[in-house]
Amino acid sequence: MKDYPFQKIEKKWQDYWLSNKTFSVKEDPTVPKEKRKYVLDMFPYPSAQGLHVGHPEGYTATDIYCRYLRMKGYKVLHPMGFDSFGLPAEIYAITTGTHPRITTEQNINKFRKQIQALGFSYDWDREISTHTPEYYKWTQWMFLKMYEKGLAYMAEIPVWYCEELGTVLANEEVLQTPEGPRSERGNHPVVRKPLRQWMLKITAYADRLLEGLDKLDWPESIKAMQRNWIGKSEGANVRFKIKGYEENLEVFTTRPDTLFGATYMVIAPEHPLVEKITTEKQKQAVKEYIEKAQLKSDLERTDLAKEKTGVFTGAYAINPFTQQEIPIWISDYILMSYGTGAIMAVPAHDERDWEFAKKFNLPIIQVVSRDGKPQELTEAFTEEGISINSGQFSGLPTKEAKEKIISYIEENKLGRRAVNYRLRDWIFSRQRYWGEPFPVVHVEGDGVQAVPYSELPVTLPEVKSYKPTGTGESPLAAIKEWVETNAPDGSGRKAYRETNTMPQWAGSCWYYLRYLDPHNDKEFASKDKIEYWMPVDLYVGGAEHAVLHLLYARFWHKVLYDLGLVNTDEPFMRLVNQGMILGEDGEKMSKSRGNVVNPDDIIKEYGADSLRMYEMFMGPLEVTKPWSTKGLYGVHRFLTRVWRISERPIVETEPEKEHLIALHKTIKKVTNDTDTLNFNTAIAQMMTYINQINNLKEIPRKLWEPFVLLLAPYAPHIAEEMWEKLGHKESLAYHPWPQYDEKLTIDKKITVVVQINGKVRAKLETERDTPKEDLEKLALSNQRIKELLQDKTVKKIITVPNKIVNIVI
């Protein structure tokens, strides 16, 4: 018997699929919409490290599903590309002097080779890379559409800036360390400073981004994260007078019913009133506190677990309902970017306020209780209840109290009803070279002008140095001949190109649309092709993109929908997050731990089919699981056994009934499990089947051909080779999927449960459809049941054929 020659087989079929363009798909209007599927992977950033075994997990899942769908008669769009702008390539350029484009394209070639070595059925004619001018021309085009719509604007805002990296960082990219804030990448110092930024008005879409989630087949945890990120809350804006000043302090509250319990105010360190209202005596303490707060990220400042800090301004506000003077404090747990940057603190009914009040010995007044009677509080009572100590509003349930107090606030001009969002407008610029240039210029004395569409793309110039300027500007600012230009309006006035570039998110916001029509130089995709394929039916990728990428792409898509450029207002109908693959030590794979598994090594030793099947056999797709080389070896042994069976004589004789039953049960199980992405249980069933037919010296074709087809989506190389050995001239990629006979999948023997007074006491192995009377006789004659019924009176027997006999005593 020959051993399984996977190296020869896999190379042969990969070359065949590529040269024959086996998976290239063309739109065919005669195929109805319900027989078309768009299955998408989150495209990778082509890093120098190449693929690790975590990447192929999601790709293998979609590949199995796509191969299965093609065999089920579907038109399938399954593309791949590269998210190829980004900071790592630029950092590499700074340290080595190599152009980011060169390293990026080398990395892309490496990734493509690794991906193809796994036998994934991508349509490589549709490959895209976000760093190519042909691609980013359309990213710029879409930006101009947003600019025209008033959704892109400039603002000076405080941002995290890293001198060493020369760019602005998102909160999530900043680490808080004992030495102060540092960049996650490279561990460099980071400071807070105001910089001019391009912004996208994502807040204008907050409600629609929330509402759209309801119709999506996404994991509930991801929807919850998005809802939380958008953070919609309803309540009132209330004005508090400040003692001795003309200004008011405005706060937003979701609990206006607790106004009578407001015993102090807290404002953000960045609040514009801080300087004005801080007393001479408190100035130094306030100054020192603000300096410390500037070194923290928003994430750290709002961490519920951290100890509350604060400082008194020396000023007092007047509670508009009680007329009491209440102190105004500063604390970093209040963000200027949320609400009004100020809160009324009601320590009896808010956990953070309670902790703060306890720490600084501030008054706590209960104004809501469960039953309308005051209680001894040992912690904040945050539930709804009945108002107490609230003047004319005492005795009202929370919902009614809220409504009546908001009406009172509006009637007495103390404030107004309001809706707030945690979501901020999107900072859409980076001070770096390796990104999409903005298609705008700054005209002397006339502000911003858009570059005409006919002049797109605005391409990146060649540069000698990729180093940041040190002034907070991108390296592009140093290229005088590129920066200096003329106003697009033909007036001959001097103009200067925008030197910020777009963030890496820009290209990934709409890449799924470019796959539809990647070579079109007249539009980003034709209307017909958008209509033909969109929306994406299944999107698979890591949960780490749960908020930002998915939220940004949904926003971008809704803008395109409003412009009449796409046919749906949501891009991704179904989302599946694959679980993480950990190292053999149960820890996250990382170079420093030395537990990274390189797929190239696995393919070399065990073959791509073994790697694919093992990653799917490890457990349910969505679950995090540790790598095990022993487990991989088990799957490789299974494929070797399959290969050895394929070497036996294949005969035309009719199979035994028991083997036919085993086959049809397998077809049914693999079909259902592949359809629902339960690949691990489908593989387990195929293993069971191979065990059932392994003792046959000759293999009936009727038992073998359908199995080869079932295996094909999972282990396509070995399946294609065995299909060819069976005498077929064509690839099996589009061969119809096997059908099962339902009658052959029904078990003749079944288990019937016997209960006494509803408690399971015995189980009967019996023929399916045994008559009711016979079942009852069998139950009563069961030794265990006979013992339990001794000296008992049977009142009645309830029997459900094929399921249960319940004896009532």
Find the angle CA(627)-CA(44)-CA(11) to the nearest 5 degrees: 70
| Contact assessment for residue 528 and residue 565, using Cβ atoms and an 8 Å cutoff | no
Crossing angle, helix 548-562 and helix 133-148, to 10 degrees?
Answer: 70
> What are the strands, taking DSSP E only, across 331-446?
342-345, 368-369, 386-387, 415-420, 426-427, 440-443
Residues ≥6 apart with Cβ < 8 Å to 259: 238, 253, 319, 320, 321, 344, 346, 367, 390, 405
d(CA 366, CA 372): 11
Query: Whose CA is closest to 520, among 58, 108, 27?
Result: 27
Give me 573's structure tokens.
């109908």
Cβ atoms within 10 Å of 521's Cβ, excluding its own: 7
Give me 20's structure tokens.
């024959």
User: DSSP class of residue 257?
Assistant: G
Strands, sheet with 575-577, edge to edge from the N-terminal-most edge strand: 75-77, 36-41, 538-541, 575-577
Q: What stretches of 51-99 show up as alpha helix (H) in DSSP? A: 55-71, 87-96
d(CA 172, CA 183): 10
Give me 625's structure tokens.
């699981």
Residues ≥6 apart with Cβ < 8 Å to 335: 268, 298, 301, 302, 341
**What b/e readout covers 36-62, taking b as 16+ CB neighbours within 10 angstroms?**
bbbbbbbbbbbbeebbbbbbbbbbbbb
**What b/e readout covers 480-489, taking b as 16+ CB neighbours within 10 angstroms?**
eebbebebbe
Residue with tokens 């998210």: 83
d(CA 809, CA 247): 81
Amino acid at 474: S
Helix or strand holding residue 626 (H, E): strand 625-626
Helices (H) and strands (E) counted in the chain, each on its own, are 26, 31
Is residue 215 marked as binding? no
**In whole angstroms, how far apart are CA 157 and each of 124, 290, 425?**
42, 17, 11
Give me 288's structure tokens.
């020192």
d(CA 305, CA 295): 18
d(CA 373, CA 395): 9
Rg (CA), the chain: 33
Ramachandran area for residue 297 (φ above 0: left; ψ -120 to 50: alpha; else beta): beta
**What b/e readout covers 284-294, taking b as 16+ CB neighbours within 10 angstroms?**
eebeebbeebe
Find the angle CA(359)-CA(363)-CA(366) to the nearest 5 degrees: 115
Query: Residue 348 in 3-state DSSP?
Result: helix
| Contact assessment for residue 517 and residue 526, using Cβ atoms and an 8 Å cutoff | yes
d(CA 762, CA 326): 72
Write out the binding residues. Answer: 591
Write out the binding residues for ATP. Answer: 591
